[in-house]
Amino acid sequence: MVENRPLLSILAHIVLLLGVAIVALPVWITFVGASHEAERMLQTPIPMLPGDQFFVNLRQTLWGSGLEGTNTAPVWMMLMNSMVMALMIAIGKIAISLLSAFAIVYFKFPFRMGFFWMIFITLMLPVEVRILPTFEVIADLGMLNSYWGLTVPLIASATATFMFRQVFLTIPDEMLESARIDGAGPMRFFWDIVIPLSRTNIAALFVILFIYGWNQYLWPLLITTDTDMMTIVVSIKQMLEAAEQSPQWNIIMMTALLAMIPPIFVVIAMQKLFVQGLTETDK
C-alpha cells in the first residue's frame, strides 16, 4: 500500500481474520455437530469443539440407511445422484451452448437473429417463475423421476451461449480463412480450432455450472418423488423435518457437510478458473 502504517496493516489482518471467522462459523458448528454422538447434541449448551465420533458418524451416514424415521435413500446414493445431475447439467449446457454460439457467430443464415433472441429470452424465464407449467410438461413427457427430467429443462442457457459468442468473436478472422485454405470444413474447424482455443473458458464455465447443477433445489424437489432419485441437497429438507421427531443432529449435520464438500472443493481447487468463470458469465 501507499504509506507504511504497521498499525493499520495489523488492524486489516485482524478485521479480515474476524471476517473469515464469522463466515466460517456456521460450517464449524456443522462440523462440530457432525463429530459428536446424537445424545450429546440434545444437551445445551451444545459443544463448540469437535468430538471423537466423526468417522463413526461418517460411516453411518454414508452406508447406513440414513436418518431413522425418514424415507430418504442412503447418502452415498444421493451423492451419486447429485454428481450425475451436476455433471449432466454442466456438460449439457456447455455442449449445446458451444454449438449454438458457433452457429450464430460463424454462419449467416435466415432467422439467425430470431434464434439469437429466442435464446436471449430464456434469461428472463428462470425456473422459479414457470414452475407449474414446466412441471406439467415433464409429467406429460413421462420424465418424472429420471435423470433426463432432472437435467434437460435446465440445460438451455443464454448466459453460456453469450459467453461463448463473446469468446468466438475474439478469435481472429484469419483463423477461419487460414483453415478454409487448409481445407477444413465447419465441423473440422470447430473441433480442431474453436474448441482448443476456448478450452480455458470451457473449464471456467464448467466450474460455475457444476456448482449451479449440484445446488439445484426447487426443480429436483418437484421432479423426484422417488427416493432412489433424490439428490443430497434436497434430502436435507426432509431430514430437517424428521428432526422434529427423531433429532439425530449428528447425522443431519454430517449429511449437510457431505452435500457441501464437493462444490466447495471444486471452488477452492479451481479458484482461478472459478473467478474467471464468475466474472465472465456475468459480464
Partner 1 sequence: MLKRVHFPASLLPYLLVAPQVIITLIFFIWPASQAVYQSFLIEDAFGFSTEFVWFENFEYLLQDDHYRDSFGRTIFFSAAVAFLSMSFALILAGFADRVIRGSTTYRTLLIWPYAVAPVLAGALFLFMFNPTIGIFPYLLEMVGYDWNHYLNGRQAMFLVIIAAAWKQVAYNFLFYLAAMQSIPRSIIEAAAIDGAGPIRRFATIIFPLISPTTFFLLVINAVYAFFETFGIIHAVTQGGPANSTTTLVYKVYNDGFIGLDLGGSAAQSVILMFMVIVMTVIQFRFIEKRVQY
Partner 2 sequence: MAGITLDSLTKSYGPTEVLHHIGADIEDGEFVVIVGPSGCGKSTLLRMIAGLESITSGEVFIGDKMVNGLEPADRDIAMVFQNYALYPHMTVRQNMAYGLKIRKMPKAEIDRRVQEAAEILEIAQYLDRKPRQLSGGQRQRVAMGRAIVRDPQVFLFDEPLSNLDAKLRVQMRLEIRKLQKRLGVTSIFVTHDQVEAMTLGDRLMVLNGGYVEQFGTPIELYERPASVFVAGFIGSPAMNFFRATADDLSVTLPNGAVVPTAQSARGGVICGLRPEHLVRDPSGPIEMEVELLEHLGGVTLLHGPLQGTDQQMVISLEGISEIQIGDSLRFSLPPELVHLFDAQTDRRIG
**Residue 68 and residue 248 in contact, taking contact as beta carbons nearer than 8 Å:** yes
Instruction: Compute CA distances 163 → 97, 101, 115, 157, 278, whole Å.
Output: 9, 9, 16, 10, 11
Cα 68 from Cα 252, distance rounded (Å): 11
Q: Which is nearer to partner 2, 198 or 224 (CB)?
A: 198
Q: Is 115 in the site for partner 1 (CB under 8 A)?
A: yes
Q: Which is nearer to partner 1, 15 or 195 (CB)?
A: 15
Q: Which is nearer to partner 1, 73 or 155 (CB)?
A: 155
**Residue 158 and residue 122 in contact, taking contact as beta carbons nearer than 8 Å:** yes
Q: In the complex, what is the shortest distance from the CB of residue 200 to partner 2, in angstroms, rounded to a whole number? A: 11
Q: Is 180 in the site for partner 2 (CB under 8 A)?
A: yes
Determine which residue in the list 60, 70, 161, 281 makes contact with partner 1, applying CB under 8 A: 161
Q: Is 197 in the site for partner 2 (CB under 8 A)?
A: yes
Kindly indicate which of the ranges 51-59, 64-72, 172-180, 196-204 contains the residues binding partner 1, using the contact rule CB under 8 A: 172-180
Q: In the complex, what is the shortest distance from the CB of residue 58 to partner 1, in angstroms, rounded to a whole number? A: 17
Q: Is 174 in the site for partner 2 (CB under 8 A)?
A: yes
**Residue 256 and residue 30 in contact, taking contact as beta carbons nearer than 8 Å:** yes
Q: Is 122 in the site for partner 2 (CB under 8 A)?
A: no
Cα 134 from Cα 233, distance rounded (Å): 21
Determine which residue in the list 202, 259, 277, 281 makes contact with partner 1, applying CB under 8 A: 259
Cα 48 from Cα 221, distance rounded (Å): 33
Cα 141 from Cα 143, distance rounded (Å): 5
Q: In the complex, what is the shortest distance from the CB of residue 188 to partner 2, in angstroms, rounded to a whole number? A: 7
Q: Which is nearer to partner 2, 133 or 183 (CB)?
A: 183
Kindly indicate which of the ranges 75-83, 119-127, 147-155, 187-195 contains the residues binding partner 2, using the contact rule CB under 8 A: 187-195
Helices (H), 171-270: 173-181, 186-189, 195-197, 199-214, 218-223, 232-242, 249-269
Q: Is 7 in the site for partner 1 (CB under 8 A)?
A: no
Query: Which are the contacts of 160, defined by CB distance < 8 A and separation ≥ 6?
Result: 93, 94, 97, 205, 209, 281
Q: Which is nearer to partner 1, 58 or 270 (CB)?
A: 270
Contacted entry of partner 1, partner 2, none for residue 269, CB cut-off 5 to 8 Å set by kind:
none
**Residue 223 and residue 150 in contact, taking contact as beta carbons nearer than 8 Å:** yes
User: In this structure, what is the dihedral angle of CA atoms 203, 126, 241, 78, given to the nearest 10 degrees?
Assistant: -30
Q: Is 91 in the site for partner 2 (CB under 8 A)?
A: no
Cα 230 from Cα 45, distance rounded (Å): 33
Q: Which is nearer to partner 2, 189 or 210 (CB)?
A: 189
What is the contact surface with partner 2 in residues (CB under 8 A)? 172, 174-175, 177-184, 188, 192-193, 196-197
